[in-house]
Structures are given as structure tokens and as C-alpha cells.
Structure 1
Amino acid sequence: MVREKLVLPDNGKKLLLHSCCAPCSGEVMEGIMASEIEFSVFFYNPNIHPKKEYELRKEENIRFAEKHGISFIDADYDVDNWFERAKGMELEPERGIRCTMCFDMRFERTALYAHENGFDTMSSALGISRWKNMEQINDSGLRAASHYEGLTYWAYNWRKKGGSSRMLEISKDENFYMQEYCGCAYSLRDTNKWRMENGRGKIKLGENYYGS
């Protein structure tokens, strides 16, 4: 895969990359490293439910970051706060207002950390997933960064130029844990409902890996 030389917007020097999981961030991290951009990974995902799934995703992300000597920032799992914010949105569909709330919550914390710790740019690996609405994600990122002078949200399209394909290659090579739902309790509920209606068993946490 031939990579383009990535350059941070607005003459940025230091990037804080929000990561939701290793499969989504692997290709993104590889591209950033190849461009010799200084960055750290920020893991703040209180939406992920249950705790077992949260720990699986986090540990895989830590493993990949440590392999490449990348700083990994493990933020709080304030899950009660997330459920409080999600009240009244329990039946909203994927990509609806509950997801916007979730992106806003995670990016607000990312922007705050960036502001307080000398990062001039923030971005997220969330947008590489074809299951996500990239415009919805970028809107949340731009809103979060706008609260702090001198902080830019990098709305780069990580899917382009073979990014999505490379994401799968890395996931297989690294034998990453394979998530089978977006992450939250309501996503797990709805995915299991669909699976049962289509003759498939419920999701079994911690069993499927890309290399298997």
C-alpha cells in the first residue's frame, strides 16, 4: 500500500487521537506513524457495555500501541454518566441522536484533555468504520474542538486510498479481537434481536478474533 504523506491542518504539531478500539485505530495509527506525526492515543469510551467488552477492546488497543511505542492515555470509564445522558434515547436507532450524544460526550473529553495537555490537534479513528456516519462524527469533533482556542479537529477521511482494506489486513495480521456490535448496551440489545430473528445465536463476548 502506497501511503500519502499526512500533514496536520493549521500547521499543527501534536495530535491527540481518540480511539474506540484496535481494529479501527490500527490503520489510522500506521498512517500517522508513517508520516512521522507526533501523537498519543486517547481511550475514552464509557459507552462500551458490558465491562468485559470494554476491557477486551481497551487491552487490544494498549497491546498495539505498546508494540509501536505510542503513548496510550487510559481515560475514565464513567459509565453511569453515559447512561444518564442516554435517558430517553434508549429506543433510538443506530446513527440517530443517541449516537450524536455519544460522540459529543467522548469528543468533549478528548478536546478537554488536548487543551490541558498541549495538543493543538485532535482527531478520531471512529470514522474509518463503514458502519458509522462520517459526517455525524466529524460534526461532533468540530463542535468539541471549537470550545478551545488553538485546537483544531482534523476531519481526515481515513477510509480513502485503501484505508478500509488496510484496516482489515492489520486486524487479521494482529489477530485483533473482533467486535460484533457498536459497543453500547442498546446496540448489543438490537444486534442480538436481529441475530435471533435471523436464526443466529446471541453474541458471545471474547470469542471471535480476526485471525481465527
Structure 2
Amino acid sequence: MENKNILLHTCCAPCAAPSGERLKEEGWNITLFYSNSNIFPETEYLKRLDSANKLASIWEVPLITDSWDHEQWRKYVKGHEKEPEGGSRCSLCFEFNLKRTADKAKELGFTAFTTTLTLGPYKNSKIIFDIASVFPGFMEFNFKKKNGFLRSVELSKEYGLYRQNYCGC
């Protein structure tokens, strides 16, 4: 592969740290894309954004920030608000964030993109891969592998990254 540029959908800095580390080890030039309209309240969204900015600064890589549109996200998952973790709301949320990432990748001329969502211990990577398979340029990386979550904790401490009390919404 000649073009080794990849847009990395970033749910949070703690998940981006080991995901980006792995991608860089594999020769990818990463650009972080922080897109998380599902995060609420806005103060929490901003704490996570601040931490993503810190990671981008440490690594000296670009960070692109998507607009925060919690109302649009709520409309997208309407009718699934009571679903448990791992239910249909999660699949819709994955689709929402992956579509925004795919659109941004296309807009910016990236031929490859992936997501940090697969690092989360409660996120089903197969479901994420199935949803993302419809988007051109999606690259399957299961960041849970190779002790991804443990590495997330280590790198968060090393870099002084904010670790939130909950994933997603």
C-alpha cells in the first residue's frame, strides 16, 4: 500500500493511545478524528476533546474535530433509548459515528479509515466490522487484541490522559 495515511475515528484519548500506537508501529500516518455526538453532557464531551488534543500534541499528529450535535444523534437513536449496553442503540450509535467518519475521510481524500471503538472491552468488534463494511476504505483493526485495553490504562497514566467513568452515552 503506497498511501499509508489513515483517519482514526477517536472515541476518546485512552482508546486512541494504544490504537494509534499500533497503527504507527505498522507504518501508518494517522490523523485523529474526534466525532462523538453521543457523549453527554457537553462538559463531558469537552473533557474528552481536551484529552484528545493533548494526545495529538504529544504525538504531533493532526486532530480534526467534528461538530457536537447531540440532538441529531438523539434523533438517530430515537425509539432505542431504553436498550441495554450492547443492544440496538449501540449498533445505531456505531453506524452514526462510522458514517460521519467515512464522510469526513472521503471529504479529506483519505483512502483508509478505522475506529478506536474496537478497543472497548464491552464493544463487539464483529458488529462494528459488519456495520463499517458498507463504507469504502474501512480497515478492520481489532484493537482489543494484543492487550489493547491494558495498554490503554498504561498509556493514559504515562501521558496523563483523562479517563472517563463511562464509555459512549
Deviation at 1:12, TM superposition (A): 5.1
**SS of corresponding position for 2:166:** coil
1:81 maps to which residue?
72
* 2:141 maps to amino acid: Y
Moved more, 156-165 or 95-104: 156-165
Structure 2 residue aligned with 1:176: 161
CA gap of 1:133–1:88, structure 2 versus 1, over 3 A, is same
Q: CA deviation at 1:60?
A: 0.2
Which residue, 121, 139, 156 being the options, matches 1:154? 139
Listed as ranges, the matches of 1:44-63 within 5 Å are: 44-63=35-54
Q: Cα RMSD over matched residues?
A: 1.5
Q: Percent identity?
A: 35
SS in 2 for 1:152: coil
Gaps of 5+ in 1: 1-9, 146-150, 185-212
CA contact (8 A) 2:16 2:116 kept: yes
* Matches for 1:1-150 after TM superposition, within 5 Å: 13-143=4-134, 145=135
Query: How does the TM-score come out when normalised to structure 2?
Result: 0.93
Any idea what SS the aligned residue of 2:133 has?
helix
CA distance in 2, matches of 1:60, 1:81: 24
> Contact 2:38 / 2:73 at 8 angstroms: preserved in 1?
yes
Report which structure shows greater RCO (CA 8 Å, sep ≥6): 2
**1 CA distance for matches of 2:66 and 2:132?**
18
Q: Which deviates more, 173-182 or 65-74?
A: 173-182
Which one-letter code corresponds to 1:35 in the other structure?
E
Structure 1 or 2, whichever has the larger Rg, is 1
Count of residue pairs the alignment pairs up: 169
Partner of 1:193: none
Q: In the aligned structure 2, how far is the partner of 1:31 from the partner of 1:162?
A: 11
CA distance in 1, matches of 2:120, 2:168: 13
TM-score by length of 1: 0.75
1:49-88 Cα distance to aligned partner (Å, 9 max, x none) = 0001000011101101111111100011011101111211
Q: Note if contact 2:7-2:105 (Cα within 8 Å) is conserved in structure 1.
A: yes
